[in-house]
């Protein structure tokens, strides 16, 4: 009953301007700057915060000598406000696109291992049937795209959980596994060796993903199991494009998905070092917000992801080819080549 009462009060008393002030106050941490950001006078902003705290029945902010800090419950309310405003922004953009004769927008988050094969080909697939649909692909690491998903910046994601309790907020459907290679530039001194132990790379320069990413966490486990500490000479980099450039211009080594480095290996720009890592890396899949109905465009895109995910059962390194047998489906008769739309591994370097 209390839940219904609060919901009724929010419907009748909560205003979008209050939500905008709340998110601005979390960002700015001072009432003066937050009021300026949302074009309010400071007295009006002060009253608005007081009204919000009265509505919810608890303090939203701690008043500190040098500003304001959200309380624990205040942070929950602020996160809700940010999601609501993001939904409104997306809705307004979608309506404007349709008003101008467009056909809506699909925003996808993707880890770099899934983007070159599964996501890029699914994008090419849906563009055959919806050529005027605006498609955006964001992100590179699972922690990044999960954050985008929970903040409602994207419609769905292709990745994996990066914390234990995210299954309470996100639905997951497995798509495939990500094969990791240790790679270096052409001509690297370790390239001719038939077998390499991880310990022999202890003093090598490394390019690693941030600690928040599952692939980096797996590598830290590998270092520990080999009796090593984390290498001292490390560049942390979440950008696949920057990582590939750094590899070609230095003696560094990196762990990257096979699908990302495949073309670079075939072109002779990089070499794979003969060392096996990442066997315990969990598979990746389709991530959607739990309990939220999916739009028709999102459902169609997910169907394409499932078809191309099934092709990943081929041996590592074998690219799905045009005309390969697909499970039955509405798009099985028209499988596009991602290159037709200029979609390559650089697709994953799109940023939010």
What H or E segment, with its residue span, contains residue 225? helix 214-225
Residues 253 and 287 in one domain: no
Q: Do 186 and 267 sit in the same domain of this protein?
A: yes
| Cα–Cα distance for residue pair 323/337, rounded to 1 Å | 9
In a domain, 96, yes or no: no
Number of Cβ within 10 Å of residue 135's Cβ equals 19
Tell me the CATH number at 47: 1.10.10.10
- CB–CB of 303/332 below 8 Å? no
Nearest-10 crossing angle of helices 16-28, 42-56: 110
What is the Cα–Cα distance from 306 to 302, expressed in whole angstroms? 6
**What is the per-residue pLDDT across 199-230, written as a single tens digit (0 to 9) for each?**
999 999 999 999 888 888 889 999 999 999 99
| Band (179; pLDDT cuts 50, 70, 90) | confident
323 has pLDDT over 80 = no
pLDDT at position 92, please? 85
Instruction: Confirm if 104 and 94 have CB atoms less than 8 A apart.
Output: yes
Task: Tell me whether residue 330 is in a domain.
Answer: yes
The whole-angstrom separation of Cα 77 and Cα 19 is: 9
Place 102 in a pLDDT band, splitting at 50, 70 and 90.
low
Beta bridge partners of 158: 110, 286
Provide the pLDDT for residue 254.
95
Judgement on whether residues 328 and 268 belong to the same structural domain of the protein: no
| Boundary of a domain, candidates 217, 246, 272 | 272
In the prediction, which pLDDT does 2 show? 66
Higher-pLDDT residue of 237 and 337 is 237
| pLDDT > 70: percent of the chain | 86
Residue 94 lies in a domain: no
Which pLDDT score is estimated for 52? 92
For residues 210 and 340, membership in a common domain is answered with: no
Shared domain for 79 and 38, answered yes or no, is yes
Question: Mean of the pLDDT values across residues 148-163?
Answer: 89
Q: What is the rounded CA–CA span in Å between residue 258 and residue 272?
A: 10
Dist. CA 147–CA 140, nearest whole Å: 12
Q: What is the CATH number of the domain that holds 187?
A: 3.40.190.10
The pLDDT of 108-114, averaged and rounded, is 86
Residue 236 sits at the vertex; the CA angle it makes with 232 and 238, to the nearest 5 degrees, is 160
- Report the relative pairing of strands 67-70 and 61-64 from DSSP bridges: antiparallel
Residues 62-69 have a mean pLDDT of 89
Full residue range of the structural domain in which residue 12 is found: 2-87
With a cut of 90, say whether residue 165 has pLDDT above it. Answer: no
Residues 123, 308: contact at Cβ < 8 Å? no
Q: What is the pLDDT of residue 65?
A: 86
Flag whether 298 is in a domain. Answer: yes
pLDDT at 95 over 50: yes
Neighbours of 91 (CB within 10 A): 10
């Amino acid at each position: 009953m209390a839940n219904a009462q609060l919901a009724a009060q929010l419907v009748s008393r909560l205003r979008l301007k209050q939500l905008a002030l709340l998110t601005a106050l979390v960002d700015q941490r001072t009432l003066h700057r937050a009021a300026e950001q949302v074009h309010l006078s400071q007295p009006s902003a002060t009253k608005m915060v007081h009204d919000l705290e009265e509505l919810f029945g608890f303090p939203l902010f701690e008043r500190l000598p040098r500003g304001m800090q959200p309380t624990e419950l205040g942070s929950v309310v602020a996160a809700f406000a940010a999601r609501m405003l993001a939904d409104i922004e997306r809705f307004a953009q979608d309506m404007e696109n349709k008003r101008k004769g467009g056909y809506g927008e699909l925003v996808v988050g993707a880890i770099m291992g899934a983007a070159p094969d599964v996501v890029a080909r699914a994008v090419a697939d849906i563009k055959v049937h919806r050529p005027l649909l605006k498609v955006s692909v964001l992100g590179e690491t699972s922690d990044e795209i999960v954050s985008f998903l929970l903040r409602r910046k994207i419609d769905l994601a292709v990745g994996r959980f990066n914390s234990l309790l995210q299954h309470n907020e996100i639905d997951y459907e497995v798509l495939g596994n990500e094969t990791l290679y240790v790679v270096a530039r052409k001509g690297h001194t370790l390239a001719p060796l038939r077998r390499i132990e991880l310990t022999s790379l202890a003093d090598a320069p490394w390019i690693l993903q941030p600690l928040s990413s599952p692939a980096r966490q797996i590598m830290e486990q590998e270092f520990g199991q080999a009796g090593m500490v984390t290498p001292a000479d490390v560049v942390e980099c979440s950008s696949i494009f920057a990582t590939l450039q750094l590899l070609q211009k230095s003696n560094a080594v990196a762990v990257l998905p096979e699908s990302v480095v495949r073309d670079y290996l075939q072109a002779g720009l990089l070499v794979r070092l003969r060392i096996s890592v990442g066997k315990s890396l969990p598979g990746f899949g389709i991530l959607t917000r739990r309990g939220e109905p999916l739009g028709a465009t999102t459902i169609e895109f997910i169907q394409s992801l499932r078809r191309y995910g099934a092709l990943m059962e081929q041996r590592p390194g074998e690219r799905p080819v045009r005309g390969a047998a697909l499970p039955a489906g509405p798009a099985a008769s028209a499988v596009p080549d991602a290159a037709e739309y200029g979609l390559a591994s650089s697709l994953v370097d799109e940023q939010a």
